[in-house]
Amino acid sequence: MAQRADVLVVGAGVTGLTTAVCLAEQGLAVHIQAIDPPRRTTSAVAAAVLGGPAIADPAEAPNWAPYETTLRWHRTSLEEFGALAERPETGVRITPGRWASKAEIQDTTWTRSLPGYRDCSPEERAGFPVAFWMSLPIVDMHRYLDHLTGRFTAAGGTMTTGRVGSLREAAAEAPVVVNATGAYAHHFAADPKVVPVRGQHVIVENPGLETYFFEFSRGAATTHFMPHGDRLILGGNAGRGDWSLEPDPAQTEQIIARCAAVEPRIADARVLGVEVGLRAARPEIRLEEEVVEGARVIHNYGHSGVAVGMSWGCAREVEQLVLRTVRT
Ligand SMILES: Cc1cc2nc3c(=O)[nH]c(=O)nc-3n(C[C@H](O)[C@H](O)[C@H](O)COP(=O)(O)OP(=O)(O)OC[C@H]3O[C@@H](n4cnc5c(N)ncnc54)[C@H](O)[C@@H]3O)c2cc1C
């Protein structure tokens, strides 16, 4: 860092970048330091669809945070992504897609209020007991991370690659630190509550699909496919506690088979690549501050499989915390 920044953001995934954009656009001098640049993070692997809290049954919602808080973060993100979707170069677009589950939803009030909601016909269900259409933003993460990076530098932000050794080391660099290290907060923040949940995607040539399919049942093996122009992203799986970033050929075959069972055109699609990422699972999202060696450290991690969908809501909340710190 050539000049001492107002804020050091550790991490250049969707969480760190979005937070850094918010702070830099408020006129603060923001520096990002990250081991992996944006295109090599877990964020670059995400499918990515918004909607976790939207489809979660309040009675059974995962404990990302109190349900009302996750809804607030989600709604803020929906608004921001809705505006971004008006500019296709951002990689965001509103797309109709099918949501499917092996389990019944107890309370569908919120789900039914979402744009484009309609029940699937028996043929569209693809054998799932619960299946409905919704139109929500989906995000081509490669293009979107480029967009965020451009927006951050246009606002005067700077970025370097490299490991930050510890919270104490970060605290020596700036009066405010944002910890956006995802699953690696397990080490960086010495937080044993964070565990990796490994996910593998298979990228195939898009055989002409324009709508997506997303299974939201719980479990280690689910089915989703997400079209981003010529690329079609196939998933999914969840390997709890698995830190490996190596593609697993057996999983590749299983993912293709599951997706092809829903959409037969996928069976013969040419495979372009395999990508692996580590979600940061935690009993609840950690968005809070603490003082380390006299610096304010604001943690923003533990978003499990919903960091993209929560990114703007959480970043705006960090922005409020930081502005209170810096400007009072
Ligand atoms: C297969 C798969 C599908 C997914 N689909 C979706 C989806 O549809 N919708 C959705 O919302 N989410 C989805 N997710 C989840 C989403 O990808 C993650 O929640 C999100 O990427 C986490 O972003 P992040 O910025 O918090 O962390 P990351 O993207 O993991 O970034 C962490 C950053 O911290 C840096 N870092 C770590 N330690 C240090 C250190 N000591 N010093 C410096 N830098 C450090 C890393 O280098 C990296 O830059 C999916 C995830 C996977 C794996």
Segment 147-175, tens digit of pLDDT:
999 999 999 999 999 999 999 999 999 99
**Cβ of 91 below 6 Å from ligand 1:** no
Q: What is the pLDDT of residue 68?
A: 83
Q: Is residue 228 part of a domain?
A: yes
Q: Is residue 150 part of a domain?
A: yes
- pTM of this prediction? 0.96
The total of structural domains in the chain comes to 1
Q: Is the pLDDT of residue 124 over 70?
A: yes
Ligand 1: atom nearest CA of 181 is 34
Distance from Cα 189 to the centre of ligand 1, integer Å? 15
Ligand 1: atom nearest CA of 307 is 19
Q: Is residue 195 part of a domain?
A: yes
* Angstrom distance (rounded) from CA 180 to CA 302: 9
Domain of residue 218 covers 7-327
Q: What is the pLDDT of residue 103?
A: 85
Instruction: Find the CATH number of the domain harbouring 234.
Output: 3.30.9.10
Nearest protein Cα to ligand 1, atom 50: 46
Q: What is the pLDDT of residue 294?
A: 95
Q: Is residue 117 part of a domain?
A: yes
Q: Is the pLDDT of residue 91 over 70?
A: yes
Ligand 1: atom nearest CA of 13 is 25
Q: Is 83 helix (H, G, I), strand (E, B) or coil?
A: helix
Q: Is residue 1 part of a domain?
A: no
Ligand 1: atom nearest CA of 42 is 29
Nearest protein Cα to ligand 1, atom 7: 48
In degrees, rounded to 5, the angle at the alpha carbon of residue 220 between the alpha carbons of residues 214 and 225 is 25
Q: Cis omega (within 30 of 0) on the bond before 236?
A: yes
Q: Is residue 25 part of a domain?
A: yes
Q: Is residue 145 part of a domain?
A: yes
Distance from Cα 27 to the centre of ligand 1, integer Å? 26
Q: Which of 13, 316, 34 is closest to 141 using CA atoms?
A: 13
CA separation, residue 139 to residues 87, 161, 281, 292 (Å): 12, 25, 21, 35
Q: Is residue 2 part of a domain?
A: no
Q: Is the pLDDT of residue 106 over 80?
A: no
Average pLDDT over residues 248-261: 98
In degrees, rounded to 5, the angle at the alpha carbon of residue 194 between the alpha carbons of residues 75 and 300 is 40
Paired tokens of 293: 């060696």
